[in-house]
Chain A
Amino acid sequence: MADLLDELAGRDPAREFIVVGADRLSYAETRARVRQLAKGLLRLGVKRGDKARPLPPRVNLERTSWLTATLSMRRTVRMVLLIGGWDDPLLRGVATCLAKMKRPTTRLSGTGLSAHTPFAVTTDGRRLRGFVRVKRRVIDLSEISGILLTSTGPWRPRPDVSVDDQAFVFHETLAVWWGILAGLPARVLGPHHVSSWFHDPNYVRALATDLARALHLRDATAESAAPGTAAPAGSRGAVLFVVGDRLIPVTPSATRFLSRITPRRRALRRWQSTQRVYFARLEFGGNDGGEIRRLDLSGSLDGVPASVRAAVAREAARWLAA
């Protein structure tokens, strides 16, 4: 019902929706009241699963308030925005888990994000407020508990418009979304996909260097960037996923690295919250197991066993819905 209200308010905001005696509310007015009240309820600590309902009206004048309050109750269940294509195994896995959790989701294709998705986001320096329109639905950023941003596919410019102009628009759009995702109070998995569109390997290297410092490990990620250097010698690498606040080992040897990281868990969390990295694939190596070889912010699930894929998707869904 709350979603339908959004859609109708987007289509015909001035049309009357609730008429009780002389009390009349348009779709837009109702939506505004519903959102305001829902925010208040959320601030009071009302959350999914809580049993609450507005008292039934005794006089006509209270009926509009009762209706908006009922709709606001629906709004307190915050949604997860999935950005990317259905062909992405992580997005598919997370969507399935969220559906099992009965958590509302909306999907926006990656190309939709980089092209003409209408949005307006404002900040006064203290708070970030705004909305994005997805398929005629207006999604208030404050209603989003989490965003999953997966691979968005290659940029395909249109042949009938100047490529330079399109490149500028593409760059500006990504810059805006990068800023929004960085400032949003919601949980975001994979915001670095946007930065990867800038094709800047320096950024990922910087994150890896900071992580190595935090975990008291050697940073061997720069070596792959050095033109002409051979692959590092030493033992076979161990792979694990960072998903939200959990670490999921992929290879059996990763368990050894987990025990190495465990005493530095607090430093890892600090690095995560500073850099906003809640989804990554890490490769460790070296004869003594003390070096970070690769930090993959796209968190590719290629070559990962099905059981680990399922665990990663489950953990990602849990974290986004929390």
Chain B
Amino acid sequence: MACGVVLVVGSGRDGVIRAIRTELLRRKIETGFVDEDDAGAYAVEGRRSNARTVSFDVKGGDCVGHRPVMGIFLRHTHPSIRGAPMDVDALARLQLGVDAAADAAGCPVVNRPRAAVSNYSKFGQVVLLARAGFSVPRTLVTSIPEEARTFLERHGGRAILKGASNVPTLASLIDRRWVSRLRLVRNCPVLLQEYIPGDDVRVHVIGETTVATRLASRDEDYRRALRRDPTAVTVEPTTVSASLRSLAVRVTRRLGLIVAGLDFKRTREGRLVCLELNPYPQFTFYERAGGQVITRKVVDLLLAPRPRRSVVFA
């Protein structure tokens, strides 16, 4: 791609960012990398090109601020998921600048930050997914212990407890032994969902295509099982119905995203119940463990179609 660069923004230690950069390098595509681990070393400057257009120059590292950007891959890091202390103010400034540039860019952006807001509220997302046509689990949000207990009893003494926002939390299967601890929900609202036994299915939407992966684990959250033992989860390609694939693509597009990771539970009857939609999916794990091609398809999306002129330069 001689006419421009692909801008990659995120932490240099993030496996997804590394995979995208490696694939771009393999294809000999010029890349501008903004390493958020060193946020203070980068700057985004806006300038008025003419009465109607504002352009953005991304500078720092290998970004020189004058090569037109033809595709942007974004996966922001968060101060809370870093071990080392970081300049939080510099990171916030950089991310705001990059987001403004990404939202203004006419080129493909995976994903535009403005399209990812549904992720803020898991409860809101359940409502949204249900309205879109997905089957969803019965869900309760509450700060009243008695209501949490009643929900637990109503669902056979078992329920899934997880955080209500975009802050990463691991889902826990709770049962009647947890009843006394439910008094703590007075201090912080929780999200409880009916427990659906069965395998997890992750469906990645990449543009118009989908990649489905089955995950079988003894733990209710396979991510916890993986932390204990990387071999404790069976990961393999699977298939989902054409109607569900098409619905997943439609919902992703309607939200303004071009890549998404949808989490499902497959019930004993084979029905897929949608749990949530991730606008910034960690797809390299599924690719590696399930032997499926995802990174290449994402890079394909970043490279085409090319806009006539760019407003972002790196």
List chain B residues, Cβ under 8 A from A128.
127
Q: Are B46 and A202 in contact (CB under 8 A)?
A: no
In this assembly, does A227 line the interface, its C-beta being within 8 Å of a C-beta of chain B? yes
Task: Say whether B196 faces chain A, with CB atoms less than 8 Å apart.
Answer: no
- A176, B189: Cβ atoms under 8 Å? yes
Contacts of B114 in A (CB 8 A): 202-203, 205-206, 209
B153 at the interface (CB under 8 A from A): no
Decide yes or no whether A124 CB sits under 8 A from chain B: yes
Q: Which of A119, A120, A179, A202 is most buried by chain B, counting CB atoms within 10 A of its CB?
A: A179
Residue interface mask B170-214, A partner, CB < 8 A = 1: 000000000000000011111100000000000000000000000
Interface membership of B282, Cβ < 8 A? no
Whether A225 is near chain B, meaning CB under 8 Å from some CB there, is: yes
Determine whether the beta carbon of A222 is less than 8 Å from that of B100: yes
Contacts of B13 in A (CB 8 A): none
Interface residue SS majority, chain B: mixed
Q: How far is the CB of A116 from chain B (nearest CB, A)?
A: 7
A118 and B143 in contact, given A179-B122, A179-B164 (Cβ under 8 angstroms)? yes
Q: Which residue of A lies closest to B274 (CB)?
A: A125
CA distance A176 to B45 in the complex (A): 36
Q: Which of B112, B130, B144 contacts A119 (CB 8 A)?
A: B144
Q: Which one, A116, A120, A201, A218, contacts B140 given CB within 8 A?
A: A120
User: Is the CB of B52 closer than 8 A to any CB of chain A?
Assistant: yes
Interface pair B124/A226, CB less than 8 Å apart: no
Interface residues in chain A, defined as those with a beta carbon under 8 Å from any beta carbon in chain B: 116-126, 128, 133, 168-169, 171-176, 178-180, 182-183, 195, 198, 200-203, 205-206, 209, 218, 220, 222-223, 225-230, 232-234
Beyond A122-B138, A123-B136, A124-B138: 5 further Cβ-contacts under 8 Å? A123-B127, A125-B135, A202-B114, A229-B54, A233-B51
Inter-chain contact B127/A182, CB cutoff 8 Å = yes
* B113-167 contacts to A (CB < 8 Å): 113-115, 117, 120-128, 130, 134-136, 138-144, 147, 151, 163-167
Q: Mark B94-118, 1 if CB is under 8 A from A, else 0.
A: 0011011001100000001111010
Bound: A124/B135 CA distance, A: 9
Contacts A169-B187, A202-B103 given: A183-B165 contact, CB under 8 Å? no
Instruction: Please state if A179 and B147 are interface contacts (CB–CB under 8 Å).
Output: no
CA distance A299 to B215 in the complex (A): 47
On whether the beta carbons of A120 and B147 are closer than 8 Å, the reply is yes
Cross-chain contact of B120 among A123, A126, A198 (Cβ < 8 A): A198
Asked whether, in the complex, the Cβ of A126 is within 8 Å of the Cβ of B103, the reply is no
Q: How far is the CA of A168 from the CA of B168 in the complex (A)?
A: 11
Cβ of A180 to closest chain B Cβ, rounded Å: 7
B222 partner residues in chain A, CB cutoff 8 A: none
Q: B191: which A residues are within 8 A, CB to CB?
A: 176
CB distance from A43 to the nearest CB of B (A): 21
A175 touching B147 in the complex, CB below 8 Å, given contacts A183-B124, A206-B115, A227-B46: no
Supposing A169-B188, A202-B113, A206-B103 touch, asked if A178 and B127 sit within 8 A by C-beta, the answer is no
Cβ-closest chain A residue relative to B123: A179
